[in-house]
């Protein structure tokens, strides 16, 4: 295997940066123990704005921004599923929604701004409000803060999955991960070890219609080339060719870059240096394929590189939420303290 020792091309992604320019607001609704449980389907965002704006340029713009197709999926699926209610009909029923984008258009506003509120009418809940003087200003403000808004709502979705997974955590798996790999991970019940050795494991969950898998593998850190896209993909291919098989014994998994090129970006993983890589996998010698997401992390305490990898096989189902469930498990990972 030939590895290029080139500089890492990265897109800076620090979660704190996504709230810069936003005003964080304290909740002003029902507080404390009486707070209602939020509602809404996975990946759903409720847009509150004037009906004329939703049917016009603003609605077109918001749908283009937030219902654009997810990258690195084998089929077109939107980042979010948008629903709409007008401001005057936004009553207690709709106020229970988990993710709300509220557009407040008032000609008296002299300055456009964005605010972020949590758990105002229900819990858990995220409300992002655009204060603008007209529809044109709303389009411009949403476009300017598109990435920030997207990131906050995506983080809300991941945390939603993590809360459910924590309630169903398989603590026996966590115990084995701590002992073997010096890390903890909130893996829900239903996963089993398909392969497990000193530096590699494959956990999988099988249903009648789909399967979810998690890979963990480690290497000693040598240089920065280990965080290049070339190295990450080559190492993944090496590991999956050796350990991940399909329905036929002779089959093995590789990254399918001819279908969709992989994408790697810098990722601040709970303070650890990391790179997030997304792409498509396929089985050589079998008719299988799907999406994967990989986090490659630097463990400075143990001078090693940890790869956390999740992949999905769901030939007949939508893949967005199933893959986000896997990603939520990966993002729950914490390193064990040295003893």
Q: What is the DSSP string of 229-291?
A: HHHHHHHHHHHHHHH---SSTT-EEEE-TTTS--EEEEEEETTEEEEEEEEEEEEETSS-EEE
Instruction: Identify whether the C-beta of residue 57 lies closer than 8 Å to the C-beta of residue 135.
Output: yes
Whether residue 290 is contained in a domain is answered as yes
327 is written with which tokens?
A: 């990603």
Contacts of residue 253, Cβ cutoff 8 Å, sequence gap at least 6: 240, 241, 244, 245, 246, 281, 282, 283, 284, 311
Which pLDDT does position 337 carry in this prediction?
A: 85
231 vs 25, more confident: 231
Q: According to the model, what pLDDT value does residue 35 have?
A: 81
Q: Which domain holds residue 283?
A: 169-335
- pLDDT mean over 50-67: 97
230, 304: one domain: yes
Examine the domain organization and report whether 40 and 113 are in the same domain.
yes
**pLDDT tens-digit readout, 278-303:** 999 999 999 899 999 999 999 999 99
Same domain (yes/no): 273, 330: yes
Whether 226 and 309 map to the same domain: the answer is yes
* Pairwise pLDDT comparison (29 vs 215), residue with the higher score: 215
Task: Look up residue 189 and give its DSSP letter.
Answer: T
Same domain, 26 and 123: yes
258 Cβ contact partners less than 8 Å away, ≥ 6 residues apart: none
State how many domains the chain has.
2
**Whether 135 contacts 58, CB under 8 Å:** yes
- Enter the tokens of residue 181: 């790999």
What does the pLDDT read at residue 339?
52
């Amino acid at each position: 295997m030939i590895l290029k020792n080139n500089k890492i091309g990265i897109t800076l992604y620090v979660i704190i940066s996504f709230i810069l320019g936003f005003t964080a607001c304290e909740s002003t609704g029902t507080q404390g123990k009486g707070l209602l449980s939020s509602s809404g389907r996975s990946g759903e965002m409720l847009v509150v704005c004037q009906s004329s704006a939703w049917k016009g340029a603003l609605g077109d713009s918001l749908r283009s921004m937030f219902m654009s197709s997810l990258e690195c999926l084998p089929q077109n699926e939107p980042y979010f599923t948008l629903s709409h209610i007008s401001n005057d009909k936004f009553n207690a029923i709709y106020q229970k929604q988990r993710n709300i984008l509220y557009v407040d258009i008032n000609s008296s506003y002299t300055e456009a701004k964005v605010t972020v509120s949590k758990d105002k009418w229900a819990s858990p809940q995220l409300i992002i409000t655009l204060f603008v003087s007209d529809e044109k200003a709303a389009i411009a403000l949403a476009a300017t803060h598109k990435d920030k808004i997207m990131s906050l709502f995506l983080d809300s979705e991941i945390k939603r999955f993590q809360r459910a997974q924590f309630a169903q955590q398989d603590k026996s798996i966590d115990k084995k991960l701590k002992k073997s790999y010096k890390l903890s991970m909130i893996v829900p019940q239903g996963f089993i070890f398909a392969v497990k050795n000193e530096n590699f494991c494959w956990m999988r969950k099988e249903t009648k219609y789909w399967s979810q898998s998690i890979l963990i593998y480690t290497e000693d850190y040598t240089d920065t080339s280990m965080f290049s896209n070339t190295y990450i993909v080559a190492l993944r291919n090496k590991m999956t060719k050796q350990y991940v098989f399909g329905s036929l014994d002779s089959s093995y998994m590789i990254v399918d870059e001819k279908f969709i090129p992989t994408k790697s970006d810098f990722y601040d993983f709970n303070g650890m240096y990391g790179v997030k890589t997304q792409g498509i996998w396929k089985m050589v010698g079998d008719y299988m394929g799907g999406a994967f997401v990989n986090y490659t992390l630097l463990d400075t305490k143990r001078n090693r590189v940890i790869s956390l990898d999740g992949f999905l096989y769901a030939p007949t189902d939508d893949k967005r939420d199933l893959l986000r469930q896997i990603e939520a498990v990966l993002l729950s990972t914490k390193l064990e303290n040295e003893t």
